[in-house]
Structure formats: structure tokens, C-alpha cells
Amino acid sequence: MFTKILIANRGEIACRVIKTARKMGIRTVAVYSDADRDARHVALADEAVHIGPAPSRESYLLADRIIAACKQTGAQAVHPGYGFLSENAEFSRRVEEEGIVFIGPKHHSIAAMGDKIESKRLAGAAGVNCIPGVNESIETAAKAVEIARSIGYPVMIKASAGGGGKGLRVAQDDKEAFEGFTSCRNEARNSFGDDRVFIEKFVEEPRHIEIQLIADSQGNTLYLNERECSIQRRHQKVIEEAPSPFISDATRKAMGEQAVALAKAVRYQSAGTVEFVVGKDQSFYFLEMNTRLQVEHPVTECITGLDLVELMIRVAAGEALPLTQAEVRRDGWAIECRINAEDPFRNFLPSTGRLVRFAPPVENMFAADTSRWHGVRVDTGVQDGGEIPMFYDSMIAKLIVHGRDRAEAIAMMREALNGFVIRGVSSNIPFQSALLAHPRFAAGDFNTGFIAQNYSAGFRAEDVPHEDNDFLIALAAFVRRKSRERATGLSGQRAGYQVRAGSDYTVITLGQGGNNSYTPVHVEEFEGETGSATIRIRHRSFSICSRSRLNDICIRGSVNGVPFTAQVERGSVRNPLVLSVQHNGCRIDALVGSPRMAELYQLMPYKAPPDMSRFVLSPMPGLLVDIAVQPGQKVQAGERVAVIEAMKMENVLFAAADGVVGKVLAAKGESLAVDQPIVEFV
């Protein structure tokens, strides 16, 4: 067994590998860029080596520097994690040539399966069902349109070296095929250094289901059940679960056996995943093989009781697998939500910056610990006060739950999301909550088009209806009453002017454009010792009990005897007296005061925000990589104005109306803030 390994990655996967290595008594070496100097994975590792500037192409994608770090520290093996160089056959080969063990498949297997075009040929030869398509590299956008027409729309345009949703577009017509080809090529070149692109038929109403494999050097190959990954937004997975609520035991067995046959055909070793697209009739077709550990591997670990990272390390060290196919378990139900730094209410644009507060829900399951199951686990590479940089992907953490069945797992996940506190950057937690509450998700009735079908106009606050909005109002009143009770006990109050807690309040729920609602609330039976009170709203009564303190962002307690977890944030940029109450993905901003205060507040004029319609604003923090206009230029609506890059994704900004460019307010290469003006029209 190795005594020291280097992790050629960053973020949560680097932290995940370190935990298993520590359990096995193996010392670890982290590598880091300028942007990650103070990152969590650097602090967790036994040693750390700086490998270059922030952009991944100047650090994490440089094989020479990673190999040099191995030699410098005496690391005997490299774990590549996922992304970056994890599926780079040349990197795997060079590592092995230097006498360092690659904790992953051999380079010939990566070359065969990592190339999406070649893998289709090999899969067909191995007897694996394949999707119709043209598996040749396409050189021009015009040729892409011609091929797409011959296959028939819709088609899927994919980068040969792509993965994780990067370098992938679905085209419904010639225009989308032409533009999608160009975008795929650019993304693939920037993310993977390989701009080859191919096209295949897009199967409508498909499910994305994948089989987890593990294989050793002695010829043993097992499939570790399946993962359901159909809940996707723009081809990037959002929620994953294991097992799938859709496929039968017979389909599971057939998919597993085909995946094993493919792995054996390329003499595969280590962990890997074979992805399938599955039709409504449970017919299935090979998509691709990921020759690495997947982001969603924890759900498989939950239902099988196996530490996949440990198995990868042991296989790389030459050990045989410790179990047979018949011994692979399928226990309970696991769900994973990807918690991303993106703003769901602004079309999921990236959100970067400082994590002012980062407090995940309480964990009782842990990565690398196979002794604890049925609970909550958080895999993350960030920490309170850390920075979310613009140079890498948007994932902050993975929230994993394991229940006895699917219904329990969904309930556990919703409660865990309620207790996940992230401040300073936006996150997709409200969106995750809405998905979990959707009746079709709860019924297991979905496919890869679920998000596009149900949120075609984007995600809005009204897409997160709360089961009981009065509860949020009652909770705001409860927190305010608790605060007033504390104020009554302050010493040094002038006689006749002491603070009185009172029992009658008005909760003003702040709406868009000054459209506020006013709810009279009566608080009675308040007990500071027990942290309880009865809140009456119209003809309803809420008995709330919570010992959470006033400065706690996360409030835990019970309402009418039912446990709850909610978040209450005090103060905002707009108004320091605002209480923001969040529960089950829904949020209200409220002012709680006396009835007289509410009367006076209604008389205050609404101050409208300034008109910014003549500006093109940056919708997110990012790098301005292109300005397509210049002062004096006439621009038509829909014309390209600028391109911003953040978290490995290109975002093109278009003119909203016809106009003439007055000023260009930002320069190419400049780092932009949210809502920073880029171009002004006259």
C-alpha cells in the first residue's frame, strides 16, 4: 500500500480523497493555484505544492507541474479526482512512465473510452446498444448543419472530450446547430484542450441512468447498481439518486451486464461509469463511459456501503476486489443535491465572492466512513469565510441523504436544505427545494426534459409556493416578539419610556414595486424561559416553540407539535429592520412592528429604482472576454454586444433594442461585478 499520494485536483473532491487516505493511514499532498492558496483542501492535506496562476490552463491542467510536485514530495501515486486531467490519457501514461501510480484506469482504457467518438465504435463491437449518429469529428459549422439535417432534428452536438455538461448543445433547427457547433468547440477547447465535435440523434423524453463499475487488475469487474441522473438543467446534473425509481430489476441487470462487457473489452481497471439514455419502454442506449470517479458517487456509496475512493486506491495498489457481484448490496434510497454558487432568480448565472456565512446542516453520515448510514452527509471544499473564485466550476457542496425508502429520503433532503446556511453568494437551494416539492418529482415521473418543461420561463420566486405562507408570517412575528422581550430587560431605561413588548403586531410583507401586504398578528402565551408562544393570524393559531437564540441564523423548533428548521436573517441593504424568513425554498422579507407603525409605513412613498434600460449590464461577476461594439456603432435588437466568462461557461450578452453605442464603459480582460455597466446607448 502507498504511504503518500498526491491529489491532482481541488475543491470538494480533493477533500473527499484526503478523508479516505487519512482513514487508510496514507499521507496526502495537495496542489493549489494562486486562487486556492487559502482553500480548504490545502489546509486538510499533510503537504501542499503551489503549481501556478489561477486559470486552470496555467495550473491544474499542467501535467508537468503535477508530476514535478510528485517527485518533489515523494508521492508514490496520483489521484486525479474528476475534471481537469482525470480523463487525460496522455497524463495517465506520463505518470506511469515516471514510475508513479495513476489511481484510475490505464491510459489505453482512458484513450479508448475518453474519446466519445472511438468509444461508440468500441461499445458497438462489445455488443452494447448505441444511439444513431455520425461519430466522425466535424470540422465546420456548415458541415454540422448538413449532418444534423441528415440525422433529423433534434440532434445533440457533443465535444469528443467533453463532460459535466461542458461542450454539449441540443439543436432543434439549422440556426441552433450552426451556433451550437461553434459554442461547443470553443468550450471544449477552453475546458479540455480538444475541440473535436460530433453529432448524434437526441432521444426525446429520455432518462439519463448510469451504471457504476469497479474493476481490479485480476480481471474482476462488478457493477454497483445504477444512479438516476435525469434531473438536469442545460445537460448538467442537479439531483441524483440511487437506485432509479424507473427501471426494473431485469433492466438493471441487462444494463449492468452490458457495462461490464464494455469495461472488459477495454481491459478496464478502477472505478468508472457507463452512462445510458433510457426510453419510456426501458430500451437503453450507450451514451459514454466516464473513466473516473463521478461527482455523484456518494449515492452509490450510501446504498452499497462501499467506499469507492478506498476501492480505487486498493485496486491501484494491485489488490483484488473484496466482494463478488452477488455480494453487492442495494440498501435504502440515497439522494444528492448539488449546491451551486449561482443565482436561480437571475437565470442561474454564476455568483462569486466571499462566503460571509457557510453553515451546512448537521451531519451524521461522513465521507470515507462506511459504518454510519441513513442520515445526512455534506461533501464540500469550502469553509466559512472562504472565497468562491470565478475560475472554476460553481459547485459549493454536495448534500447527500440516505433514507429507508424514497419518500423518507425526499423528506430528509427538504429538511436538510432548510438548515443549509449560505450567505455572501447566491445559491441554488431555493430551486432544489422547489424540485423536491414538485408532485411529478415526488411520483418519480420525470425525464431529462423535466426542468425545461416545468420552468420554461426561468425560475421565479412564485415558482416556490409555500405550503403555508401564514407560518412564515407567524415565525417573523415570533422572532420579533422574542427580540422585544429581550429589549424590555435592558438596564438604564428612562422611567416612563421603557420598552414594552406588547402583543399586537402587524407583519408587513415587502413585495416588488412597493406592493406590500399587511397582516395583523396577535402574540399570546409568550414564555421566554421555554421559548414558546402562540401566534394568532386571523382565525388560525400557531404554537411555536424554539430555544434558538436571536443571533442564530438557523431556527430550529416545532410548530403545533411538528418539528421545523427555518432561516431568519436580520437586516438588509435596503432596511436594517427587515427580517428575511426562509423555509422550504420560499422566502419573505418582512417588517414587524406595531399597528400604528404599519399605518405610518403605508403613507411612505415608494422610491423606484433608477432606469438602467440604456445600459448593457453585467448579469454576473465574471471576466469580460470580448466587446463586439464600439462608440458610434448602430446596433439592432438581438445583436451580440459582449461576452463574459465565469466558472468555465461563456455568456453572450445581446442588445435588448435598436440603438447607437454612446460609450464602452469596460475593457476587454476586465473583471466585472454584478450589474456593472459595460455599454451605454444614446
Residues, the chain, total? Answer: 682
CATH code for residues 132-201: 3.30.1490.20
Cα-flanking dihedrals φ and ψ of residue 102, to 5°? -90, 120
The DSSP element (H or E) to which 379 belongs, if any, is: strand 376-380
Rounded-to-integer distance, Cα 117 and Cα 99, Å: 30
**In the chain, which stretches have pLDDT less than 70?**
135, 163-165, 573-574, 648
CA separation (Å) from 589 to 32, 301, 564?
Answer: 40, 40, 19
The interaxial angle of helices 141-151 and 174-192, nearest 10 deg, is 120
- Could you state, in order of their start, the residue ranges of all structural domains in the chain? 4-103, 132-201, 204-463, 469-488+499-603, 615-681
Report the candidate in 466, 502, 461, 468 with the shortest Cα–Cα distance to residue 483.
502
DSSP 165: T
Return the pLDDT at 132: 75
Give pTM, 2 decimals: 0.86
Return the pLDDT at 550: 80
Cβ count within 10 A of residue 522: 14
DSSP states of 401-437 = EEESSHHHHHHHHHHHHHT-EEESS--SHHHHHHHHH
Whether residue 146 lies in the annotated active site: no
Return the pLDDT at 574: 67
Cα dihedral sign, 288-292-294-300: positive
Return the pLDDT at 219: 94
Half-sphere exposure in the Cβ direction for 648 (13 Å, CA): 24
DSSP states of 323-362 = S-GGG----SEEEEEEEESEEGGGTTEE--EE-SEEEPPP
Cβ 650 vs Cβ 183: under 8 Å: yes
Return the pLDDT at 520: 97
- Residue entry with cell 394568532: 536
Correct CATH for 4-103 of 3.30.565.10, 1.20.120.10, 3.90.550.10, 3.40.50.20: 3.40.50.20
User: What's 615-681's CATH class?
Assistant: mainly beta
Return the pLDDT at 350: 87
Residues in a beta bridge with 446:
none
Return the pLDDT at 205: 82
Strands 634-635 and 659-664: antiparallel
- Of 288, 301, 336, 342, which is the active-site residue? 288
Return the pLDDT at 136: 76
DSSP 467: S
Fold (CATH) for 204-463: D-amino Acid Aminotransferase; Chain A, domain 1 (3.30.470)
Q: For the CA atoms of 165, 171, 177, 180, what is the dihedral angle to 10 degrees?
A: -30
Cβ count within 10 A of residue 500: 10
Fold (CATH) for 469-488+499-603: Glycoprotein, Type 4 Pilin (3.30.700)
